[in-house]
Structure 1
Amino acid sequence: MALNVLNTTYSLAKAQLDATKKTSRISGYFSGYYNYFKRDSGSSPTSTASPSSDISTPNGILRAHVVKAECCLLIAVLQLLQESVMSYVKCGLNLRRAYASYNFVWQKYKAMGDDACKYMDRDTISGVQFGIGSVHFVLSALPAKIWKAISVLGWKPDKELGFKLLKECADNKRIRSSMATVMLLAYYATAASFTPQILSEQYTKIAMETLLEAQRYYPNSALYLFFAGRISRLALDLSLSTQSYLYAAEMTKNDWAETAVANACRYEIAVNHMITGNWNEAASSFEQLHKEKYWSPAFCKYMQGSCLEMAGNRSAAILAYAEVPRLVVKKLGGRMSDIDAYALRKVQLFQSSGYQELDLHVPILEFMCIWNLFHFMDKPRLDYCLRSVNKALETIQIQEQEEYDKRSQELAPETSPPDHFDKRATLLLVKAALQNVKGNDPAENTIILNWIIDHKDNLATESWVVPYALWEAGVACWNVNNRNRSRHVWEMALEFSSYDFEYRLAVVSINIIGWEASTTTKKERELTLLLCM
């Protein structure tokens, strides 16, 4: 529905622009009369800051270019969220179209110099500042593979320019100021939550200052309250985070956005419940989200089952898992979304053993590892999670021994050798992530992560484990101030492809490499840009 509205708006703006391509005598007369009137009202006739070719472009035409460009920009954002290769390509092309229109207006704006506000209204200026800033932001969030394709066109993102223009747009308090603030908050909150071990301290303070400034003008904005929940979590104030989400949902009651905001807040509250170990409350929230068909009903049902399993209610967990396959929908060009594919694959794995091997898995902790949620847990809950992982590893070891004992009693045994590489690798990755957060002795983590990397050829189903293990290895190096090694390991992770949540890890790695480069020399920054392109 959003795409249809944006495409319709794009067509209207384009029709307005097409109608003005043929200049009539009347439009030429009015343009000349307008310029004469401006000179007669006090403008210096010798001023050269605004060439007539730029002044003669009516503000309405410039505004139409901005409207057309913003439609392309927002379409690109929607395509980016679909997380498929074709969607990424379309996203890049729409960003290119958006930038072409924005750049046309931007060049006019710069040519007018100090007199720009005489010939362009401030809302059009606000729109072009928001647009160019956002294009550079969104472009920097694309996976490295798509960056390489776009770089062939000679187009390079400039995140610093994006920051500057969005900040100016937000400070000017015009029509796109709120959107610029939302874009900045979304970037700060997403980047810091993707990599809390490294960027949380850097971005949380900036995000909080941006949010407080925005709330001075819109104290009851549900959108800003939602971001208050995200930023409070980054600041490790989970109680305030949950209160902010509840207040945001309350603000939209009987509003057009009531259902959407309520469900988004309910999901974030469920995440807070997981972080605080309230598994039953989290399961209840995911059950409600499944009923509301929020995001991915299959994934919400999978998460409900995983929370129930962690709470010790296996019977209810199995019933929830059993519903997942029928909830999966192929909707992205005939393919499943990454999150649906992940949930379906995990459930099929559980079903293949008749749910008899659930003791060899910790599904909810596996998801929390991928989503980098351990950083927000306190020490007692981290210890509890670590005990759960160690228990599952011990169970694998016991089962392996039983299988070897059975084979030792047979000559040319029919029983296959134990094959628990995928299960063990997943559990070891979760254990390494927990120990990274706890700050345990890095020597043990080195052994664990090396085992995963050494056995990568034995992993049949969990192809995501190796690149994520490289990510954790980089974090471990970062924790001991070996940053060059961290960058090298993260670059190794970017070489992997076709695994679950590839896009998420690609964005994480690119943002960290780029952020660290911004704190070093110009030569290193150029090297990082080349890596990303």
Structure 2
Amino acid sequence: MQLFIKSIFLCCLFFPLPRTKDSMYHALTYATILEMQAMMTFDPENILAAGNTMKEAQAVCQRMSEDNCAVIFTSEELHAEVCYAECLLQRAALTFLQDENMVSFIKGGIKVRNSYQTYKELHTVLQSSSYIHGDNHGHFEGGVKLGVGSFNLMISMLPTRTLRLLEFVGFSGNKEFGLQQLTEGAAGQTFRSFLCNMLLLCYHTFMSFILGTGEADVEDAEKLLQPYLKRYPKGSIFLFFAGRIEVIKGNLDAAIVRFEECCEAQQQWNQFHHMCYWELMWCFTYKRHWKMAYFYADLLSKENAWSKATYAYMKGAYLSMLTREECQPFRENEVALFRQVHGLKQKIAGKSLPTEKFAIRKARRYLTENPVTLPAPPLEMMYIWNGYTVIGKHKDLTEGMLKTLDEAQAKLESRTEFSIDDQCLLSLLRGLCLKHLGHQEEAEHYFTLVLCNETQIKFDHYLVPNALLEHGLLCLEQGRKEEGIKLLETAKQSYKNYSMESRTHFRIQAALHKAKATGENGIHTMPSSP
């Protein structure tokens, strides 16, 4: 069966239909491939096809798990149960994408909870003394580790207020336990080892970086990636993660090469190209190569449907950094682009995208007859995506960004309704650059300056909790732990309803977790059912 399971992925790619009606693994794998396509394209037809196929796969798993009514599960029934839990979780994701009404949210939430409970029960089976290891025990155990690890990791990263609500309805998560389960799952030779590995790579190169303090575990990511990259040197997904690792390390030129190799490696799924375009856009932003950054934002706006509003905003942002002469070759101008942003917004899972909402708010000032220009929009959006931790690894890049902030400061228009907001924005970004250059006292001064102007800020209220967050992180770096925690708790408890609030709370949560870590190495277990 091990050889059989390992061959399923390729079989489903070329001969999906014959076995998907009677084989749970064929059915699940084929449905998963269609779900990946739906998630990457957001195409309604792809979403519908993936949903129907996943529903059929779930029916196959359910039929196999109910063939025997005995209290003790057979090996096949256990495999069917773990596949069923995967189907539930993936169907929930599609439900959130497919509709925007409250009924869809309730249906999706029920599926997620049922999947969670199934994984908990299967984990209990694994721990039971009466459980007997069958010939295919590894594949079953790998499936449980994937589900249990994923739930624990994702839930543990949520902001405290969200976590408390989830705990009230029966969810709980332990980050260390989740990472342990996924690491053990990745180390095995099972059907789901690859999925565990990919999820860990996503965590180390994206989630912990963007939603954390920007301190990704590069060493672990490289260990996970190298065997695959060595075996599949032209594999697009592996080249992409290799590029992400280079970005986090601050090796921008090496990252650009990796992303270009990824685009050249395959032509079937353009969505991989679009992921690379997004990363290349940021690489050139960090290098302050505004024209190249605009080039990739323009490609995304023409080819990709993920977030047209964000792409239009970024195009306007990059053009705003060029002189009038430099803008002449382009057929667009920043004012026209910023005015397009609101009309391009979309909803996913019934919610407006946070980055789009942020871009729309920032672009509003261009809707007037005489707009007040944004001071340095690419540098501000860089902060939203934690980019200063990348340039902070290079003195020349950080000093260059500081010079750009000086130029923006010189162009600030005085006596407008945006003056204080713009000044506070530049102070926050200047403080970040100074912190990375080692000028900690000066950095602290600029973070404090934002707080001193809190009552005069009219629009960009997100600046105050983020200044507290950065000030708190600075205190932690200096060993001022109590002061740092106090600032972080203030940022968490005292402010709400501001732009990108969830992302700020994710980062505060990560910072507090780091500050309060006890270093205990006890063995964690899966939280028990409520």
Whole-Å separation in 2 of the counterparts to 1:511 and 1:478:
13
Change (3 A) 1:294 1:399: same
What corresponds to 2:274 in structure 1? 263
Say which of 465, 468, 493 aligns to 1:467: 465
What is the Cα deviation at residue 319 of structure 1? 3.5
Aligned runs of 1:329-344 on 2, under 5 Å? Answer: 329-330=346-347, 332-333=349-350, 336-344=352-360
Alignment deviations for residues 130-168 of structure 1 (CA, whole Å, 9 cap, x no partner): 111111111123332221111114543122221121111
Say which of 114, 118, 136 aligns to 2:152: 136
Q: Is the 8 A contact 1:436 1:475 kept in 2?
A: no
Aligned residue identity for 1:490: L
What corresponds to 2:11 in structure 1? none
Aligned runs of 1:243-392 on 2, under 5 Å? Answer: 243-253=257-267, 255=268, 258-313=269-324, 316-330=333-347, 332-333=349-350, 336-352=352-368, 354-355=370-371, 357-358=372-373, 361-377=375-391, 378-392=394-408
* 1:102 aligned onto 2:94: no
Whole-Å separation in 2 of the counterparts to 1:208 and 1:277:
28
Structure 1 stretch 314-323 or stretch 177-186: which is displaced more?
314-323
Q: Is the 8 A contact 2:139 2:192 kept in 1?
A: yes
Q: Is the 8 A contact 1:6 1:71 kept in 2?
A: no
Alignment deviations for residues 444-468 of structure 1 (CA, whole Å, 9 cap, x no partner): 3333222322332332221211111
What is the Cα deviation at residue 124 of structure 1? 2.5
Q: Which has the higher contact order (CA 8 A, sep 6+)?
A: 2
What corresponds to 1:437 in structure 2? 436
What corresponds to 1:187 in structure 2? 203
Whole-Å separation in 2 of the counterparts to 1:197 and 1:507:
9
What corresponds to 2:235 in structure 1? 221
Q: Is the 8 A contact 1:191 1:508 kept in 2?
A: no
Whole-Å separation in 1 of the counterparts to 2:266 and 2:360:
34
What corresponds to 1:412 in structure 2? none
What is the Cα deviation at residue 88 of structure 1? 9.2
What is the Cα deviation at residue 392 of structure 1? 3.2
What is the Cα deviation at residue 493 of structure 1? 2.0
What is the Cα deviation at residue 273 of structure 1? 0.6
Aligned residue identity for 1:274: T
Change (3 A) 1:300 1:79: farther
Whole-Å separation in 2 of the counterparts to 1:196 and 1:150:
20
Change (3 A) 1:322 1:154: closer
3-state SS of paired residue (2:320): helix
Whole-Å separation in 1 of the counterparts to 2:254 and 2:398:
21
3-state SS of paired residue (2:414): helix
Whole-Å separation in 2 of the counterparts to 1:88 and 1:492:
32
What corresponds to 1:209 in structure 2? 223
Q: Is the 8 A contact 1:126 1:176 kept in 2?
A: yes
Whole-Å separation in 2 of the counterparts to 1:13 and 1:61:
15
Change (3 A) 1:13 1:104: farther
Change (3 A) 1:390 1:259: same
What is the Cα deviation at residue 114 of structure 1? 7.7
What is the Cα deviation at residue 241 of structure 1? 1.0
Whole-Å separation in 2 of the counterparts to 1:336 and 1:105:
36
Whole-Å separation in 1 of the counterparts to 2:132 and 2:474:
54
Say which of 238, 248, 252 aligns to 1:234: 248
Say which of 461, 469, 486 aligns to 1:488: 486
What is the Cα deviation at residue 75 of structure 1? 5.2
Unaligned runs of 5+ in 1: 32-52, 404-417
What is the Cα deviation at residue 65 of structure 1? 1.8
Q: Is the 8 A contact 1:109 1:116 kept in 2?
A: no
Change (3 A) 1:368 1:134: same
Whole-Å separation in 1 of the counterparts to 2:108 and 2:238:
26
Whole-Å separation in 1 of the counterparts to 2:359 and 2:513:
32
Alignment deviations for residues 73-99 of structure 1 (CA, whole Å, 9 cap, x no partner): 3456678999x9989988765443222
Structure 1 stretch 233-242 or stretch 94-103: which is displaced more?
94-103
Change (3 A) 1:72 1:485: farther
Change (3 A) 1:452 1:73: same
Query: Normalising by structure 2, what TM-score?
Result: 0.79
What is the Cα deviation at residue 232 of structure 1? 0.9
3-state SS of paired residue (1:352): coil
Q: Is the 8 A contact 1:66 1:102 kept in 2?
A: yes
Change (3 A) 1:184 1:419: closer
Aligned runs of 1:411-426 on 2, under 5 Å? Answer: 420-426=419-425
Unaligned runs of 5+ in 2: 1-37, 40-46
Whole-Å separation in 1 of the counterparts to 2:194 and 2:482:
38
What is the Cα deviation at residue 320 of structure 1? 2.7
Change (3 A) 1:221 1:522: closer
3-state SS of paired residue (2:221): helix
Q: Is the 8 A contact 1:471 1:490 kept in 2?
A: yes
Paired residues in the alignment total 469
Change (3 A) 1:458 1:78: farther
Whole-Å separation in 2 of the counterparts to 1:189 and 1:506:
19
3-state SS of paired residue (2:310): helix
Query: Normalising by structure 1, what TM-score?
Result: 0.78
Q: Is the 8 A contact 2:476 2:515 kept in 1?
A: no
Whole-Å separation in 1 of the counterparts to 2:473 and 2:445:
15
Q: Is the 8 A contact 2:96 2:349 kept in 1?
A: no
3-state SS of paired residue (2:281): helix
Aligned runs of 1:50-89 on 2, under 5 Å? Answer: 53-54=71-72, 57-74=73-90
Structural RMSD (CA)? 3.3
Whole-Å separation in 2 of the counterparts to 1:197 and 1:18:
42
Q: Is the 8 A contact 1:73 1:131 kept in 2?
A: no
Q: Is the 8 A contact 1:72 1:95 kept in 2?
A: yes
Identity %: 22
Q: Is the 8 A contact 1:192 1:204 kept in 2?
A: no
Whole-Å separation in 2 of the counterparts to 1:60 and 1:22:
10
Larger radius of gyration: 1
What corresponds to 1:499 in structure 2? 498
What is the Cα deviation at residue 195 of structure 1? 7.2
Whole-Å separation in 2 of the counterparts to 1:12 and 1:310:
52
Aligned residue identity for 1:99: Y
Aligned residue identity for 1:215: L
Aligned residue identity for 2:89: L
Q: Is the 8 A contact 1:89 1:146 kept in 2?
A: no
What is the Cα deviation at residue 191 of structure 1? 4.4
Aligned residue identity for 2:153: F
What corresponds to 1:163 in structure 2? 179
What corresponds to 2:22 in structure 1? none
